[in-house]
Chain A
Amino acid sequence: MLGLIQKYPLAFISAVLVHALASVFLVLSFDWTPRPPLPEELQVLQAVAVDERQVQAEMDKIRRMEDRKHQQEQDRVQKVEEKVRQERDRLAELETQRKRESERHKKAEAERIKAEQQQQEAQRLAEETKRETSKILDKQRKLEEAQQRKRQLEDEAKRMEQQHSSKVKGDVDKYQRLVRERVENKWIRPVNWKQGAKCVVAVRVIPGGDVVDTKIVKSCGDSLSDRSVETAVHQAAPLPVPSDPQAFAQFRSFTFTFNPDEK
């Protein structure tokens, strides 16, 4: 309110004045409402006593005067009323203006507040998003780190595995050669060996190289040759097999291919 007054002092003062004036007029108007004037009754009594015509003239004169007076009064009231009406209208107009102004102001204020709220909301959201994002980023980073660590560990494991497996492979290669030489030293190919014959013997071996079992998987083509290759494997026992369990695993069950014509 105070703000409003400050903002529109002229309008306010004029409004006050108008109101005050209106109130004065209203009071006066009440005072001026036609009350039968006492002296006229007295005059009527006198007139009876005096000349009738004179009285009548007087009375007419008075009546005219009164009429005029009344008329003037009437005009004046009318004018005042008109003025009041005008003033009221103006006031109303002002009020409407004020209201409009106030509404506009309110609206602007609301909008401002709304905008402010929106901004705040936006800011909040932005912050929240930022927080979330950083949280996510953090998580992601941690995940990446974990993965990286995992990869490193895996690489390490793989390297160790490779180192071991290459050692195992080396062992397997080496003992494979030793076993081959040993069996080749023992094998006496029978004289009826069929040119181009090729046969496969499956062997089961226990740690230490003892041959548990041999089996002809693919025949050399005749019994004597089949027996010669099985005999060669048994004669070669114990086979020189690796002691490393992983390398030995390869020798637990394997095959020999006898292929003397392959050069």
Chain B
Amino acid sequence: MRNNAVMWRVIFVALYMLAATPAVATLNIEITRSAEGAARIAVVPFGWYGQGAAPVDVAAVIAADLHRSGLFSPVVVKDMLEKPDDAAAVDFKNWRVIEVPNLVVGRLYNVGPDKTGEDIYTLRFHLFDVYQAKVLQEMTLQGRKKELRYRAHQISDLIYQILTGQRGAFTTRIAYITKGLNVKGGGRYTLFVADADTENALPVFVSPEPIFSPAWAPDGKRIAYVTMEKRRQQVYVQDTTTGQRDLVANFMNYNGAPAWSPDGKKLALALSQDGNHEVYVLDIETRVLKRITNHWGIDTEPAWTPDGRNLVYTSEQGGSPQIYQYTFSSGEIKRLTFEGKQNLRASYSPDGRLLTFIHRTEDRQDHVAVMDVATGLVRVLTDTGLDESPSFAPNGSMIIFATTKIDERHQRGVLSAVSVDGRVQQMFSLPPGAGDVREPTWAPFGH
């Protein structure tokens, strides 16, 4: 009884309070219009504490990295109202005035030689949220002179990670092939491995004969490629750290288009040992070869889905080159592309949700395109019309590819990158002597 009465009283009070408290609708303001653009970021030139000139312009490396991603627009140095190199020296007002929400300041110190006599450097930086006046990240890194660019890329990765929530790919590497002239006037083909910003380019293999189709192993160290050094196509695997080369595919006739399985144990290949270009899978360890396709038309350019369950490849079985998918478990073959004159050289994004390929339009322009695997919707990403060899960055944010640049009556292949939504595309400027650049391929994340 008592409890009942208490309960009723509680209910009454609750109801009363409910009735007495009007539901206050919070004001909401809808924002539907905006300018669109890259996020502004200021990377203030790092203070240099050492003898002579600074070994690396760290800020410039970071700014270039962020700019290349397409998501950021670095402030040019002359627009900066102050150039602090330390957190204590920052006055946020100077950055709010020019409406820069992100700020990076830092210092590079020469801390003197280590036991081996080589100078050791310390890099210290702060990333600020200007409007909320708070430090988003601060860190101190160390390295020798030759490691400083890499350290700068590491800082770029961190900044990118904090501001976008996505893993940065600035410390990753790319491989590409150049065709130049040797001193005697003959051909000179080089397989290069470079930082993602094309700096630190190191030749991995040089040949007077053409080199094709470089492919990174999932370990990010080995690279498979095709050479004509023996006057016919052969597939080699080379360790980029030790330089060791192994001939892995030397079947009759054509050997080409190597593609690593996600576990790194197999290579999908295009072979013509049976008289026709067909797709095969080779177990590198056991040397077991399995034929995948069987059609009178050309089947080539295989690539694996990230889960290793399917292969996509280019096939002419429908008359024009189109992309097909083979499923290992069922042996089922499915055509994936239907739009445009032709579609070829397909590869998957690291998350397997997008497929990129070269899409030839009805007016014979070759563009980098992506297909949403789930919906089948195709989107052309580039404005350039002579694109080839698209390759996803390991964080899936960009696609690197080669395109032909025509100027002053001669044309050459150059590297370009486009964001996966197609909003940002930019050319990489390689040194003038680099020659014709082809077939870039983006390495997976390092160890």
Contact = CB atoms under 8 A, between A and B. Distances in A.
B38 interface: yes
Interface in A218-259: 222-224, 227-232, 234-235, 250-251, 253-259
A165 interface: no
Interface stretch (A41-49, A99-107, A151-159, A181-189): A181-189
Which of A192, A250, A263 has the most B CB atoms < 10 Å from its CB?
A192
Interface stretch (B10-18, B163-171, B308-316, B427-435): B163-171
Interface string B18-52: 00000000111111111111111000000000000
Contact of A223 (B99, B165, B397): B165
Interface string B365-402: 00000000000000000000000000000000100000
B124 to A, nearest CB: 24
Given A222-B164, A235-B131, A176 B27 contact: yes
B71 A254 contact: no
A192 B163 contact: no
Contacts of A187: 31, 34-35
A1 interface: no
Given A223-B164, A234-B132, A253-B26, A188 B36 contact: yes
A188 B33 contact: no
Contacts of B164: 192, 222-224
A254 B26 contact: yes
B57 interface: no
A250 B421 CA distance: 39
Interface string B97-117: 001010000000000000000
Contact of B424 (A191, A235, A262): A191
Interface string A166-189: 000000100010011001101111
B31 A257 contact: yes
Nearest to A221: B165
A40 B132 CA distance: 171
A257 B30 CA distance: 5
B418 to A, nearest CB: 11
Interface string A66-81: 0000000000000000
A214 B26 CA distance: 15
A222 B71 CA distance: 12
Given A222-B164, A224-B164, A231-B131, A188 B39 contact: yes
A260 B33 CA distance: 6
A9 interface: no
B441 interface: no
Contacts of B234: none
Contacts of A231: 101, 131
Interface string B411-439: 00000000101011000000000000000
Contacts of B131: 230-231, 234-235
A248 to B, nearest CB: 11
A259 B423 CA distance: 19
B29 A179 contact: yes
B34 A188 contact: yes
B214 interface: no
B29 A222 contact: no
A37 B27 CA distance: 148
Nearest to B28: A255
A16 B32 CA distance: 130
A208 interface: no
B91 to A, nearest CB: 16
Nearest to A195: B421
A25 interface: no
A227 B130 CA distance: 11
Which of B29, B71, B165, B419 has the most A CB atoms < 10 Å from its CB?
B29
Contacts of A224: 39, 71, 163-165
Given A224-B71, A235-B99, A188 B37 contact: yes
Nearest to A255: B28
Contacts of B33: 184, 260
A250 B28 CA distance: 10
B26 A192 contact: no
A255 B26 contact: yes
Interface in B128-184: 129, 131-132, 162-166
B421 A192 contact: yes
Contacts of B70: 191
A205 B37 CA distance: 27
Contacts of B397: 192
Given A184-B33, A222-B165, A190 B39 contact: yes
Nearest to A192: B71
Contacts of A262: 30, 32
Contacts of B419: 191-192
A192 B37 CA distance: 9
B67 to A, nearest CB: 12
Nearest to B164: A224
Interface in A188-228: 188-193, 200, 214, 222-224, 227-228
Given A191-B419, A256-B28, 7 more contacts: A176-B27, A183-B29, A184-B31, A224-B163, A250-B27, A256-B31, A259-B30
30 contacts: A180-B29, A180-B30, A183-B31, A186-B99, A188-B39, A189-B35, A190-B36, A191-B37, A191-B71, A192-B397, A192-B419, A192-B421, A200-B28, A222-B166, A223-B163, A224-B71, A224-B165, A228-B39, A232-B31, A232-B34, A234-B101, A235-B101, A235-B131, A255-B28, A255-B29, A256-B29, A258-B31, A260-B31, A260-B33, A263-B32
Interface of B: 26-40, 70-71, 96, 99, 101, 129, 131-132, 162-166, 397, 419, 421, 423-424
